[in-house]
């Protein structure tokens, strides 16, 4: 151990005030949708596994852990049996896990019942995968919860840990959560149990929702500017919110985490790669163009993109299909949050006035909401490209079903003649229902039946879709039940 026991205990006591009988200070009353899943693993774990809270920086992982601590204390779990430690702290990082646990038990002897370990930023633990595997296998009375914002974790390089932890993937705030956190009071929208039921709503109900939802649109646009990060969502100034977001991503993730955890030396090339992706958010990744413009070799660019995905800053979508054709095809890139590109590219509020950029931001937000809702079901997301380069933005493969989503965030009405790609994939795959995400609230409701197809298509405004998907995620309902 490179630090003194006294220093180590002082830090641990600071992070664990409940040992002194003090309550957790400044803990928000709102809870992320992921808290429901986390709570299941607190009380009666479905399996003997650790729990990983994975996601980008500043999306609320630490707050979620501390809310779990608070719930345990309120349920009567002895304070001495709960440890919180963040290995982002230099003292704890130097001391290591064994010294931290030893100091904990010397200060707080174990009481009856399970021990709860909450380990923040576990990527800084040396050989973290092996350590957690050992704990899960040989310390059955310990329940371990850990976070990671900059590591591939279960996806790559940690084969020894397979089956030892359950991953709860956190995205940035949904539009529904954003409104709750900001305390925005708006006319109540009706709750839905599934998106499917909207196809059968009578016309008067559609009209009523259209009128009720009018105040939501402005807040939705502001949500696209501020982003779904709890800290930036609560800042009054949009300019200040974007500055903080830009600093967190560029300075902390690209310049610090990438160097410390992945040994990246060419930080400027990595930053340029990320800026290129910000400029092409929601588009197909052209590796030849990227390498030519940034003057980097293809293996280097590929490595950078994999690191950006590992740090939860981007998503990659393959084209629909399987086999060699897919492996050779171009991926579609989405940023982790719609506000990242405007913040990084210093666009400020001009996003709302740029129809094309606003459409891209909306598509990114729609994908994030769909991903967050369907992720627990192990849904595969792809995009589709058919004849004459006709495309469909998103396909969610839910079991044996394929659910297409096409984003048309524009002022003009979107009719069947604008949906040739969507109609083509629905005919080819015998899809019964599809969704077109629109801008205007007036374009809410099913399209006229397609004469040569059994497919039903629903126009749904983006603000409504994102609100309801966030609400469904919070309640744990299935959007296509």
| Model confidence pLDDT, tens digit, residues 41-93 | 998 888 889 999 998 888 899 999 999 999 999 999 999 999 999 998 999 99
Yes or no: say if 100 and 8 are a contact pair by the CB < 8 Å rule.
yes
pLDDT band at 157 (very low <50, low <70, confident <90, very high): very low
Structure tokens at 463: 């603000």
Alpha helices in 295-444 (DSSP H): 298-310, 324-328, 340-344, 355-374, 420-429
Could you give the CA distance from residue 423 to residue 434 in angstroms, rounded to a whole number?
Answer: 9
8 Å CB contact between 364 and 338: yes
Residue 479 has pLDDT above 60, yes or no: no
The predicted-structure confidence for 413-422, as pLDDT tens digits, reads as follows 888 888 999 9
Dist CA 29 CA 12 (whole Å)? 25
Check residue 159 and give its pLDDT.
44
Distance separating alpha carbons of residues 154 and 343, to the nearest angstrom: 30
For the record, the structure tokens of 195 come out as 């998106």
| Lowest-confidence segment of 153-167, 302-316, 332-346 by average pLDDT | 153-167
For residues 337 and 335, give the distance between their C-alpha atoms in angstroms, rounded to a whole number. Answer: 5
Q: Which residues contact 473 (CB under 8 A, 6 or more apart)?
A: 33, 174, 176, 369, 372, 373
- Distance (Å, rounded) from C-alpha 143 to C-alpha 38? 12
Residue among 66, 74, 64, 44 nearest 143 (CA): 44
Q: Say how far apart CA 453 and CA 436 lie, in whole Å.
A: 16
β-strand partners of 334: 315
Taking residues 270-277, report their average pLDDT. 94
Query: Which residue did the predictor score with more confidence, 126 or 184?
Result: 184
Residue-wise DSSP of 379-408: -EEEEEE-GGG-EEEEEEEETTEEEEEEEE
State yes or no: pLDDT of 327 exceeds 50.
yes
Q: What does the alpha-carbon distance between residue 86 and residue 92 come to, in Å, rounded to a whole number?
A: 7
pLDDT reading at 160 higher than 70: no
Structural domains of the chain in order of their starting residue, each with its CATH number: 5-170 (3.40.50.300), 176-475 (no CATH)
Residue 23, φ and ψ in degrees, nearest 5: -75, 165
Q: What is the pLDDT of residues 7-18, one digit of tens each?
A: 999 999 999 999
Q: What is the DSSP letter of 47?
A: S
Tell me the percentage of the chain whose pLDDT exceeds 90: 60
pLDDT tens sequence across 84-124: 999 989 999 999 999 999 999 999 999 999 999 999 998 88
SS3 116: strand
Which residues, at least 6 apart from 192, have a Cβ–Cβ distance to it below 8 Å?
198, 468, 471, 472
Say yes or no to pLDDT of 244 above 60.
yes
DSSP alpha helix (H) spans, 248-339: 258-262, 267-279, 287-294, 298-310, 324-328
Residue 100: partners with Cβ closer than 8 Å, 6 or more residues away: 8, 12, 83, 85, 92
Residue 136 and residue 49: Cα distance in Å, rounded?
6
Give the DSSP letter of residue 331. P
Nearest residue to 103 (alpha-carbon basis) of 176, 35, 4, 172: 4
d(CA 86, CA 122): 8
User: Which residue reads 């923040």 in tokens?
Assistant: 120
Query: How would you class 359 by CB atoms within 10 Å of its CB: exposed for 0-12, middle for 13-18, buried for 19 or more?
Result: middle
Contact 172, 368 (CB under 8 A): yes
307 pLDDT exceeds 80? yes
Model confidence pLDDT, tens digit, residues 350-390: 888 899 999 999 999 999 999 998 887 788 999 998 888 88
pLDDT of the residue at 323? 61
- What is the C-alpha radius of gyration for the chain, rounded to an integer number of angstroms? 24
Q: Mean pLDDT score of the chain, rounded to an integer?
A: 89
What Å distances lie between residue 47 and 36, 40, 42, 192, 379, CA to CA? 16, 11, 11, 32, 21
What local confidence, expressed as pLDDT, does residue 386 receive? 84
């Amino acid at each position: 151990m490179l630090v003194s026991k006294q220093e180590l205990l002082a830090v641990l006591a600071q992070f664990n005030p409940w040992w002194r009988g003090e309550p957790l200070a400044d803990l928000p009353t709102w809870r992320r949708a992921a808290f429901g899943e986390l709570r299941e693993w607190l009380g009666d774990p479905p399996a003997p596994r650790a729990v990983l809270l994975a996601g980008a920086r500043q999306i609320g992982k630490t707050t979620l852990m501390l809310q779990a601590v608070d719930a345990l204390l309120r349920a009567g779990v002895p304070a001495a049996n709960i440890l919180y430690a963040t290995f982002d702290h230099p003292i704890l990082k130097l001391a290591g896990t064994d010294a931290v646990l030893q100091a904990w038990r010397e200060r707080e002897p174990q009481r009856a019942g399970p021990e709860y370990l909450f380990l923040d930023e576990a990527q800084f633990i040396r050989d973290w995968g092996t350590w957690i595997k050992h704990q899960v296998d040989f310390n059955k009375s310990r329940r371990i919860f850990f976070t990671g914002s900059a590591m591939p974790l279960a996806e790559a390089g940690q084969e020894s840990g397979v089956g030892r932890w359950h991953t709860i993937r956190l995205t940035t705030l949904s539009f529904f959560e954003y409104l709750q956190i900001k305390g925005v009071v708006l006319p109540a929208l009706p709750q839905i149990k599934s998106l499917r039921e909207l196809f059968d709503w009578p016309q008067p109900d559609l009209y009523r929702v259209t009128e009720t939802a009018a105040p939501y649109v402005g807040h939705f646009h502001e949500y696209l500017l501020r982003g779904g990060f709890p800290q930036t969502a609560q800042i009054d100034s949009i300019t200040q919110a974007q500055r903080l977001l830009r600093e967190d991503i560029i300075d902390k993730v690209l310049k610090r985490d990438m160097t410390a955890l992945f040994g990246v030396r060419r930080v400027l090339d990595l930053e340029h790669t990320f800026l290129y992706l910000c400029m092409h958010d929601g588009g197909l990744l052209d590796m030849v163009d990227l390498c030519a413009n940034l003057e980097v070799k293809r293996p280097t660019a590929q490595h950078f993109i994999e690191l950006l995905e590992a740090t939860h800053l981007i998503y990659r979508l393959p084209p629909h299909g399987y086999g060699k054709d897919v492996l050779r095809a171009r991926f579609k890139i989405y940023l982790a949050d719609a506000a990242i590109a405007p913040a990084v590219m210093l666009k400020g509020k001009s996003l709302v006035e740029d129809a094309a950029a606003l459409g891209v931001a909306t598509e990114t937000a729609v994908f994030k909401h769909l991903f967050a809702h369907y992720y627990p079901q192990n849904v595969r997301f792809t995009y589709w490209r058919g004849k004459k380069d006709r495309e469909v933005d998103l396909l969610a493969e839910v079991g044996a079903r394929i659910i297409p989503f096409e984003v048309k965030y524009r002022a003009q009405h979107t009719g069947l003649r604008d949906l040739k790609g969507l109609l083509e994939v629905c005919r080819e795959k015998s899809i019964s229902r599809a969704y077109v995400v629109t801008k205007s609230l007036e374009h809410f409701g099913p399209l006229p039946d397609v004469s040569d197809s059994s497919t039903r298509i629903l126009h749904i405004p983006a603000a409504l879709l994102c609100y309801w998907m966030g609400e469904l995620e919070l309640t744990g309902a299935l959007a296509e039940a």
